[in-house]
Structure 1
Amino acid sequence: MALKKPYSSDNSRQSDIVSLKDGITALLRAYRLQGKLNEVTVVASWEKVMGKAVAMKTQQVYVSNSKLFVRLSSAPLKHELFMAKTRVLENLNAEVGEDIIKEVVFL
């Protein structure tokens, strides 16, 4: 008498397999965390997008209501970035791949 295998040899389990990327995306969508994750990504990529010199004069970066708030320790740098606000906004959104930030406020 032959023993029956616990799993059938057809690929019944293959239909349940989801890639890790798809699983995480579904999880973020289910818990509505994608927007918050994108905001955190914008804050984390501030130094990469703006460069080390700007990051050294940055005291605080945070997102609230689709606005990026940046506190700087240098008034001349603040003025220069204010004049290039549109370009800063475009570069940050390009880094994330979505239009997360609608406005940049320099403090």
Structure 2
Amino acid sequence: MAKRNNEHISISDALKEFVQTNNLEKGLNKVNVADAWAELMGNGVNNYTTSVNLERDTLYIQLTSSVLREELSYGKEKIITMLNEQLGKEIIKKLILR
């Protein structure tokens, strides 16, 4: 049974403690990365995106357009920087476009 905490804490602090206690950080990062990709890239790129997978520090993006994949490959570093800024921490170190 979990230890009861008698002092008053905010909801955000309680949720952070819950996430850390139950080792949910990796799963939340995967969801947050997919949301950040959709938000930053917009509808134009999202229409051609079939999957967004985060494994360790590598982000795998599956695209249906080879032309779009080639265009995005020129700006990989900028995309990584933008995604990490959106997430508020450095999660992604490598981007692989498929």
Which of structure 1's runs of 4+ aligned residues deviate more than 2 A? none
Q: CA deviation at 1:37?
A: 1.1
SS at match of 2:62: strand
Separation of aligned partners in 2, 1:41 and 1:28: 14
Separation of aligned partners in 1, 2:45 and 2:13: 36
Q: Is the 8 A contact 1:69 1:106 kept in 2?
A: yes
Report how many aligned residue pairs link the two structures: 93
Is 1:103 aligned to residue 94 of structure 2? Answer: yes
Task: Structure 2: state its 5+ residue gaps.
Answer: 1-5
Residue of 69, 72, 79 corresponding to 2:63:
72
What TM-score results when the alignment is normalised by the length of structure 2? 0.88
Give 1:35's aligned residue.
26
Identity of paired residues, percent? 28
What TM-score results when the alignment is normalised by the length of structure 1? 0.81
- CA deviations on 1:10-53 (whole Å, 9 max, x unpaired) are xxxxx621110000011111122223312210112211111110
SS at match of 1:104: strand
